[in-house]
A and B are shown apart, each in its own frame.
Chain A
Amino acid sequence: MMLSPDEVKAITSTIIARSGAEACTVSVWGGDSRNFRFAGNEATTNGAVSSISVSIESSFGKRAGSATVNSLDEAALEQARLRSEEIARLSPENPEHMPPLGAQTYEPEGARYDAGTAYTQASGLAHAAASAIAAGRNYEVGIAGFIEAECGFRALANSAGLFAYDRGSSAELTVTARHTKRAWSGWAGASQNRFPALDPVGLGERAVGKALFPGETADLDPGVYTVILEPAATADLVQRLAYSMAARSADEGRSFLSKPGGGTKLGERLLDEAVTITSDPGSQDAPDTLFGPDGVPKRRTVWIERGVAKTMSYSRFWAQKMGCEPVPFAFNLSMAGGTVPIEDMIREVKRGILVTRLWYVNVVDPRTLLCTGMTRDGNFLIENGKITRPALNLRFNESPLSALSKIEAMGPAERPGGGWGMVSAPPLLIPAFAFSSRSSGI
């Protein structure tokens, strides 16, 4: 369920007024979502879910404890408050515990919330899904996918006078077309803050086009290839990189940003000059949330600027210890794009692979950010400037630090959906990307 700032305040102020602790912070979050899944051109599961949670952190000096309950029932909230105080009293002191932050000024709401999207009707979602499925109607394909519209809010209030409120909506559609003879598959997806901005027909057609691409599937030898990464694949690598930019682990010597002998690589050029990664609550492509977990305001942050590591994230404790300002971790990110359409990139490639999306990407070595994972749902061989046929999926062992260290062309960024968080990323032409083994998986 959605609550307005006033409705939240009514809850938080009561809890804070009753608090028996030296300091009290109350977080309230919730939302409404509706989704439909489909597979083999048929509806499978669906859901409409309404949620609400209240979390209370109480502290006495450096002792803190928290209790969470998903109820707005007064007795349940009171029980949670008492439980948080009891935990705090019994906990050992945490020298790193920070007193609550005072009142802050936040960026304006921006483009994250759209009331119409928040309450998209079931029939609206089903019609959009039907449009995506219809893209395959006259072909031998089975279409699977997921469509979801949701809204949510998050608010924070504390005994030091801070009140923060943020809300957002999102609509996502991902489509996987599978050739019924199991010959090949294709994927397309998009994530938007406004439901009407989704293009179900276009996504359906893109997925079907990939699944039906003619030609015998190439069984490529593993090795280093020129690749074109579509935005979904780029976004996956950008996440692994940007989510590993915490200052504390860098300072502690256990991050890709740590330097042998001590210190960090902040300010060093680590990637191609074309790479700029930012987060910004005011962004149009991937607007970030307004505040971090303890209410620290989020501002436009440049994490990587023209290939140089520019900013690391700092918790309040670590910022104080290191004598700088806290920088909240960014969940929604934008990698700046270019102007080269994928078709033009393909023309530049003598022999290479077009990668639609990646799958099951895990960091193998946090020091080098070496990642392994698979290509999936739309891997194609490019020969002499043309896509010639599907290419069997491959496992890669590659680090974003080397993959993004040389970029030959970039296209316009988009937000592909289907992942964790909202990342806007461009398609990239990369001269060297390391694949290590074959898979029969289609």
Chain B
Amino acid sequence: MTALDSLSLTPHAFENLGIDSQTSLADTALRLAQKSGASYADIRIGRNQDESAYAREDKLQYFNSTFSAGFGVRVLLDGSWGFAGSRIVSETEVARATAEAVENAKAARLLQTRPIELEDIPAYRDRWIMPVAQDPFTVPVEEKAAKLLGINAAALKAGADFCNSQLWIVREEKLFASSRGSSIHQSRVRIWPMFTVTAIDKQTGKFATRASLLPARQAGWEYAAAYDGEAEAALAAEQAREKLAAKSVEPGVYDVVIDPANLYLTIHESVGHSTELDRALGWEADFAGTSFVLPEMLDGLQFGSPLMTVTADRSQEGGLATIGWDDDGVRGTEAEFPIVENGIFRNYQMALGQAQLIGRHRSNGCAYANSPTAFPIQRMPNISLQPGADGTTLADLIAGVDRGVFISGSGSWSIDQQRDNFQFGGQVFWEIRNGKLGPMLRDVAYQARTVPFWNSLDGIGGRDTYELHGAFTCGKAQPIQIAPVGHGAVPARFRGISILNTERKDI
């Protein structure tokens, strides 16, 4: 990725908060923190821009543009963390918040019998600016409105009763500076055009929806411009209508073939979250949950079949977690590691101050704070299921099934807090009979437990079937923090999976 001269590419409500003034504010915070006796301090100063638009049928109902700024100061004082942040970015507010962070650290001491220790990490003075072919914030409102209204019109024309579409664009700019001497400027942009069509059968009172499958991406407007939303909307309308008349699935045990637009979320929930070290250590026990994957299982647990290799990275072009450094100031290249290698569990994802607790050396670059005013915690980098070595196609996977279900798109999902038992729906389902796709099915959800599920994997798509998807809004921590994360995936086949029928005839 190339470095540009200027961080901000568009006129900004926080123009006076340029790199120089940010650096000077950071110096103030770090100086005051050290004066208060902090053994470590860091600050994140952010300027974000986001745009969201919403259209239903032939009406643009909402278009908002947000500029936000903020900062957060973190101090380590006598082995306790203290954090404070504010949306008002000024010299006096930085001084006030730094004092407040110190006050929190002093108060936290009451709850700290074991001092928090941090590993050494290298200091960097650098920048990382994501190249954007077409800055989405400079694209006129009319063009964005036309994109959404075009999608809705295509859906209605193809027989949908309703269609709503949305566009969400975010630019995240931040400075990270630490008492260890780092000063890192970064900027990235992500975009997500999406829609949902609804088809209704008035007589029976039944209705069906079909949501778009286009992944959210780190990209500029060129990604939205290249997307043929009208074609997908027309297809979605037909599929929603077809769903209404589709055969309700007979519950039972089936072989399933799952496409990347569904499997990415299963990877996210069952592999991504279960291998977060803070969860395994019990730090998220009160809300997001813990993990069935215990530290003693490193290099031993047969997480999945030998076909399963899941890797972490911060470098895939377009990945929602692609960036140069994480929010602890750890270089993104540290986040290139296998989580599961040929079926064996190899690595947790870690943030600062965790590695030593399981006998490892240092963070592997998996920290993120969802806003400059949030405490950075361990969050997923891009986490992807790697393709198989041969050139297996989706058709090959289906050809290997006598009686099964093909599942596409992500629907309703749920997983237990230790990431063991899950139930996922989808957008569209087809029967597989004798190696071929049959008629569409409805009311399908698959229910499984993480380790048996991944060990039942017996077929995996090749390099040509790889797709990059992602979750725009993964939630964790208290107060909850929303994080974007990329997931590459290939279609895969799983044997003997329990399929439920989700229709309740008694209601």
Contacts and interface: CB of A to CB of B under 8 A. Distances in A.
A joins B in a complex? yes
B355 interface: no
Given A51-B373, A130-B110, A401 B507 contact: yes
Given A72-B88, A364-B412, A90 B14 contact: no
Contacts of A215: none
A260 B502 contact: no
A360 interface: yes
A123 B108 CA distance: 8
B445 A372 contact: yes
Number of chain B interface residues as a range: 35 or more
B141 A91 contact: yes
Interface stretch (B1-9, B299-307, B420-428, B459-467): B420-428
Interface string A123-151: 10111011001000000001011101000
Interface of B: 13-14, 59-70, 72, 80-88, 93, 97, 100-101, 103-104, 106-114, 140-142, 145, 149, 161-162, 198, 200, 202-207, 281-287, 289-290, 292, 373-375, 377, 412-421, 423, 425, 443, 445, 447, 449, 477-479, 498, 500, 502-504, 506-507
Interface string A29-63: 01001111111111111111111110100000000
19 contacts: A34-B104, A39-B282, A47-B373, A49-B84, A49-B85, A50-B85, A67-B65, A67-B66, A71-B14, A87-B63, A90-B140, A90-B141, A122-B103, A259-B205, A360-B414, A374-B421, A397-B423, A399-B507, A441-B416
Given A39-B283, A174-B287, A395 B416 contact: yes
Contacts of B107: 36, 46, 121-123, 125-126
B108 to A, nearest CB: 4
A41 B113 contact: yes
Given A50-B86, A72-B88, A45 B375 contact: yes
B25 to A, nearest CB: 15
B416 A45 contact: no
Nearest to A44: B283
A265 B477 CA distance: 39
A396 B46 CA distance: 42
Number of chain A interface residues as a range: 35 or more
A344 interface: no
B287 A418 contact: yes
A372 B414 contact: yes
A171 B409 CA distance: 40
Contacts of B65: 65-68, 83-84, 87
Contact of A441 (B162, B200, B292, B478): B292
A258 interface: yes
A174 B113 contact: no
Closest 8 CB pairs of A and B: A260-B205, A441-B418, A439-B421, A122-B107, A43-B111, A144-B285, A90-B141, A441-B416
Contacts of B64: 55, 65-68, 87
Contacts, number: 314
Given A76-B13, A145-B286, A395-B423, A91 B145 contact: yes
A243 interface: no
A283 B384 CA distance: 49
A47 B69 contact: no
A148 B479 contact: yes
Nearest to B478: A146
Given A79-B13, A90-B141, A45 B281 contact: no
B82 A46 contact: yes
Interface stretch (A92-100, A105-113, A406-414): A92-100
Nearest to A133: B111
A260 B204 CA distance: 5
B140 A50 contact: no
Contacts of B417: 359-360, 374, 376-377, 441
A176 interface: yes
Nearest to A317: B61
A356 interface: no
B282 A65 contact: no
Contact of B202 (A34, A84, A261): A261
Given A39-B282, A254-B207, A365-B504, A439 B416 contact: yes
A202 to B, nearest CB: 17
Contacts of B66: 67-69
A52 to B, nearest CB: 5
Contact of A48 (B61, B68, B104): B104
A164 B66 CA distance: 23
Interface string A261-295: 11000000000000000000000000000000000
Interface in A407-442: 418, 436-442
A70 B68 contact: yes
Nearest to A263: B205
Interface string A241-260: 00000000000111010111
Contacts of A84: 65
B414 A373 contact: yes
A1 interface: yes
B375 to A, nearest CB: 4
Contacts of B375: 45-47
Interface string A347-371: 0000000000001111111111110
A45 B83 contact: yes
Contacts of B111: 36, 38, 41-43, 126, 129-130, 133
Nearest to B113: A42
